[in-house]
Amino acid sequence: MNSSKLDKFVERVNQNLADYHDQLSGFGNRELIDMAGKISTMADAHYYMTESHDFSDEELDFYLQFQNPLEVISDYWAMRRNDISDMSFALGDISQDRQTLLTIYPLIEEATLNTGSSLRRYTDKLAEVRKFTESEPAVSQQKQSLADRLQAANEKVKAQKSQSDKTETQSGWRGEKYAR
């Protein structure tokens, strides 16, 4: 493979992603939520194209013809992801990982309104997953993806707690939110 072609390709794909991020900055929260699927497929395609796939010269020549190869691959990935019949593979993987999943995700009997407890649980489970993935060099990308999802959930819970604390401080209710 020609490394200068690969460098040119990666540079173009990185610029495609930067341009896409610039486009997203003009949208509001609701619009961004509605675009979550497209945002995810762009991120997936970028990662795959820059970190995971070994391109042949022929492939690079093909993709370098496009102004936005990231969009080309992302659109095809989106079509694949939108085919719900493929979800059976995910369910099969879940079936194989049942015991692990029971220790990672909150169970119904553990449900609590205390965001602090949820945050501690996610943080603890995230640390366990990271420890496991670091100790097992043969851990699949799916397991790493699980760690990434837990990290995202952890950050979401932190943000919600921070927003909740801020709202309570501003309103002066401090735990009396529903006492009216």
Q: What is the pLDDT along the chain (180 residues), one digit of tens a residue?
A: 678 899 999 999 999 999 999 999 999 999 999 999 999 999 999 999 998 888 899 999 999 999 999 999 999 888 887 776 667 777 888 889 888 888 888 888 766 544 556 566 666 777 776 666 565 554 445 555 666 666 666 676 667 666 656 655 555 544 443 343
**Which pLDDT score is estimated for 94?**
86
Same domain membership, residue 52 and residue 21: yes
Same domain membership, residue 119 and residue 63: no
Which runs of E-coded beta strand occur in the chain? Answer: none
What's the CA gap between 77 and 85, in Å, rounded? 14
Indicate the number of domains in the chain: 2
Same domain membership, residue 48 and residue 100: no
Same domain membership, residue 40 and residue 114: no
Residue 96 belongs to what H/E stretch? helix 87-96
Same domain membership, residue 98 and residue 76: no
Same domain membership, residue 76 and residue 117: no
**Which pLDDT score is estimated for 173?**
47
Among 62, 82, 102, identify where a domain stops.
Answer: 82
What's the CA gap between 125 and 7, in Å, rounded? 38
Among 30, 62, 82, identify where a domain stops.
Answer: 82
Same domain membership, residue 92 and residue 130: yes
On whether residue 178 sits in a domain, the answer given is no
Same domain membership, residue 99 and residue 126: yes
Would you tell me how many other CB atoms lie within 10 Å of the CB of residue 119? 17
Q: Are 122 and 150 in contact (CB under 8 A)?
A: yes
**Which pLDDT score is estimated for 130?**
66
**Which pLDDT score is estimated for 13?**
95
Q: Encoding tokens for residue 32?
A: 């961004």
Same domain membership, residue 72 and residue 8: yes
Same domain membership, residue 97 and residue 71: no
Range of the domain at 58: 3-82
